[in-house]
Amino acid sequence: MRLPVRFATLVAVSVLGGGVLAASRPQPLVPGMPTPDTGPRSFAGAADEGYPIENETLITRCSRCHEPDDQGRMTRISYERKTPEGWQTSIRRMMALNNVSIEPDEAREIVRYLSNRQGLAPEELEPGRFEVERRMIKHRYEADAGVEETCIQCHSMGRVITQRRTRDEWDLLMATHRGLYPLVDFQAFRTGGRTPDSDEDPRQPMDLAVDHLAEAFPLETPEWSAWSATMRPPRIAGTWLLEGHEPGKGPVFGSVEISAGATPDEFTTRASLTYVEGGLTMSRTGTAIVYTGYQWRGRSNAGEADELREVMTVERGWRKMTGRWYQGAYEEFGPDVTLTRVGSEPVIAGVYPRALGVGAGPTQIRVHGANLPSDVATAAFDFGPGVVVLSATASSSNLFTLRLTVDADAALGARDLYVDGVSLTEAIVVHDGVDRLDVTPEAGMARIGGANFPKGYQPFDAIGWNDGPDGEPDTADDLELGRVSVAWSVEEYTATYEDDDVSFIGQLGQDGVFVPAVDGPNPDRPGSRNNIGDVWVVATYTGPGADPDDPIQARSNLIVTVPLYMKFDPFDGIAPGRLVP
């Protein structure tokens, strides 16, 4: 299952997102989209399925193997739809395995064309957004557990559900897997001669998978027909308010100025961000492309060593964007973000700190937003009964600092903020103490590295909860208090007798970020084993309301495993002169 060595040389080439240059030959303003004089139109293709290919670069570079028919449909290519990452992966695979010669600007042009003409509708992408946003989550494909078991032996189910194909194409994809990776027959595709139960379908898992995938993810869908008919580059230039959260760092607020680029689907950005827990502020500049009318792919920098990939969805109406920004080399780091468009009216993004205890004396909080008038009277800030605002000071049109108190008998619960005709739902939470903790994620994974392969880190958060007005845990009125300050520690997970993983796997910092140990055999460990193992990550809360003799604790299971020796068609990063995001 080893790929040719030359495949490794391709991971530095990038096609998607910011910094993508115009193609060398004349193209429409947005390659693959209707030109301005034709207006939007559907790309439904022929009645018997398949999309005619009209891009000359694609035809020139690909028709030697993907022969066009009399309707302009090219084998394989015309009978599938994918995300930009999916099309990018196909091009890189052709370069790696079939010696396709293609220039980076040509590859970008082809990815852009296919993403716009044969992409996914927003509703089709939604269940698989975790794949393109590079989220490490527990995902369960509930439609067919057997198909999931067949597919996830080598990659996530997200790789599958972000594609659409004809039945013949699903069959050919299965054959391609078997040709490139023969061991899949033994791992998942075939039963290995096992006799099925009398009431069990006797066909092989791969045949059952093709049947299901052809029905669940066909080439033509109502969602794509509707979206392709109305698809156009979004008009999103302007000011956007950012609110987000990064594991290990906490809430982040800021603003993003989006400016039009060289074509209607290209943009440049300038962001100002504040991580409110530590007071870290930064400015970021970047570039992006919006594929298929809604798929934002970009990258931004706050310095040479601080680059983030940006994968977001532009919501219908062009008023909101949601997604994730992450480090290219270390996908585990980066914030979840929500961008809200700012007009002339005031907007409130959030309040920090959000959790306020009853009976709290004068407490300082900050209200983050945009277009906040500096002359707002203190009395205009209204959090409801029992919360008294003592003073309000404007630092800018984006930030107010409030001093307030919370009455000892104030009702528990979330409170909306009203100020000068603007509101924010559940801006703060009034509580009477931390009753329990959750450690997120509930199961984490890190990879040893540093000598021969990169490390894989794992950040953790401790989330506080209050039992709410009824005083009972795990009921509907429980109050989430957000990140709380805890002491972090690691305890042995007794899976193997005397393996002593705690002493070898790495270190857990007090910021909740686990740093794994070095890869390779460790002569100080029995049997010179690698520094892998499994442990409990434990958060201990001893803050206000906690019993010093019986502190509040919660834990998460952490598996520290081997390096990621090989990525199957990894998503690289977007940058000028490279091939993808």
CATH number at residue 358: 2.60.40.10
In a domain, 369, yes or no: yes
Rounded percentage of the chain residues whose pLDDT exceeds 90: 75
Q: What pLDDT was estimated at residue 374?
A: 84
Determine the Cα–Cα distance for residues 132 and 316; give it in Å rounded to an integer: 19
| R_g over Cα of the chain | 26
Highest-confidence segment of 86-95, 111-120, 569-578? 111-120
Q: Where do we find the tokens 């042995």?
A: 492
**pLDDT for 242-254, tens place per residue?**
999 999 999 999 9
In a domain, 532, yes or no: yes
Beta bridge partners of 366: 352, 401
Residues 212 and 155 in one domain: yes
> In this structure, are residues 298 and 267 in contact, taking their beta carbons and an 8 Å threshold?
yes
Q: What pLDDT was estimated at residue 1?
A: 31
Residues 452 and 556 in one domain: yes
10 Å CB burial of residue 319 (0-12, 13-18, 19+) is middle
Query: Residue by residue, what is the 3-state secondary structure of 432-473?
Result: CCCCEEEEECCEEEEECCCCCCCCECEECEEEEEECCCCCCC
- Who has greater pLDDT, 99 or 233? 233
> In this structure, are residues 555 and 486 in contact, taking their beta carbons and an 8 Å threshold?
no
Last residue of a domain, one of 299, 323, 342: 342
Q: What pLDDT was estimated at residue 579?
A: 41
Q: What pLDDT was estimated at residue 46?
A: 39
- Check whether 71 has a pLDDT greater than 70: yes
**pLDDT for 422-469, tens place per residue?**
999 999 999 999 999 999 999 999 999 999 999 999 999 999 999 999
Beta bridge partners of 272: 255, 283
| Residue 27 confidence class, pLDDT cut points 50, 70, 90 | very low
Residues 461 and 523 in one domain: yes
Q: What pLDDT was estimated at residue 350?
A: 95
| Residue 395 confidence class, pLDDT cut points 50, 70, 90 | confident
CA-closest candidate to residue 323, choices 122, 508, 178: 122
In a domain, 229, yes or no: no
- Check whether 471 has a pLDDT greater than 50: yes
> In this structure, are residues 307 and 17 in contact, taking their beta carbons and an 8 Å threshold?
no
C-alpha torsion sign, points 224, 230, 232, 235: negative
Residues 34 and 83 in one domain: yes
- Check whether 2 has a pLDDT greater than 90: no
Q: Where do we find the tokens 């029905």?
A: 215
Determine the Cα–Cα distance for residues 487 and 467; give it in Å rounded to an integer: 22
Last residue of a domain, one of 380, 404, 431: 431
> In this structure, are residues 302 and 281 in contact, taking their beta carbons and an 8 Å threshold?
no
- Check whether 45 has a pLDDT greater than 80: no
Determine the Cα–Cα distance for residues 276 and 335; give it in Å rounded to an integer: 13
**pLDDT for 256-286, tens place per residue?**
999 999 999 999 999 999 999 988 999 999 9
Q: What pLDDT was estimated at residue 495?
A: 75
Determine the Cα–Cα distance for residues 496 and 484; give it in Å rounded to an integer: 33
Token pair belonging to 577:
């002169």
Last residue of a domain, one of 313, 342, 371: 342
Q: What pLDDT was estimated at residue 8?
A: 32
**β pairing state of 552-561 and 443-447:** parallel
Q: Specify the range with the lowest mean pLDDT, choosing from 268-282, 472-486, 491-505.
A: 491-505
Q: What pLDDT was estimated at residue 199?
A: 72
Residues 184 and 288 in one domain: no
Residues 149 and 116 in one domain: no
In a domain, 232, yes or no: no
C-alpha torsion sign, points 476, 477, 483, 486: negative
- Check whether 37 has a pLDDT greater than 70: no
DSSP H/E element including 581: none
Q: What pLDDT was estimated at residue 97?
A: 87
- Which domain does 146 fall in, by range? 126-161+167-217
Residues 337 and 353 in one domain: no
> In this structure, are residues 459 and 514 in contact, taking their beta carbons and an 8 Å threshold?
yes
Q: What pLDDT was estimated at residue 195?
A: 61
- Check whether 24 has a pLDDT greater than 90: no
**β pairing state of 355-357 and 422-431:** parallel
In a domain, 61, yes or no: yes
Domains held by the chain: number: 5
**β pairing state of 413-419 and 422-431:** antiparallel
In a domain, 581, yes or no: no
Highest-confidence segment of 20-34, 355-369, 494-508, 563-577? 355-369
Q: What pLDDT was estimated at residue 265?
A: 96
CATH number at residue 289: 2.40.128.120
Residue 561 in 3-state DSSP?
strand
| Residue 498 confidence class, pLDDT cut points 50, 70, 90 | confident
Query: Residue by residue, what is the 3-state secondary structure of 258-301?
Result: EEECCCCCEEEEEEEEEECCCCEEEEEEEEEEEECCCEEEEEEE
Beta bridge partners of 52: 73
Q: What pLDDT was estimated at residue 32?
A: 65
Find the mean pLDDT for residues 141-149.
93
**pLDDT for 517-560, tens place per residue?**
999 999 999 889 999 999 999 999 998 878 888 999 999 999 99
Q: Specify the range with the lowest mean pLDDT, choosing from 175-179, 340-344, 570-574.
A: 570-574
In a domain, 227, yes or no: no
Residues 395 and 455 in one domain: no
Residues 510 and 547 in one domain: yes
Find the mean pLDDT for residues 508-525.
95
Q: What pLDDT was estimated at residue 290?
A: 98
Residues 305 and 190 in one domain: no
Beta bridge partners of 341: 240
Residues 152 and 106 in one domain: no
Residues 111 and 9 in one domain: yes
CA of 345: how far to CAs of 242, 332, 485, 511, in Å?
Answer: 16, 36, 36, 38
The mean pLDDT value of the chain amounts to 88
In a domain, 48, yes or no: yes
- Check whether 410 has a pLDDT greater than 70: yes
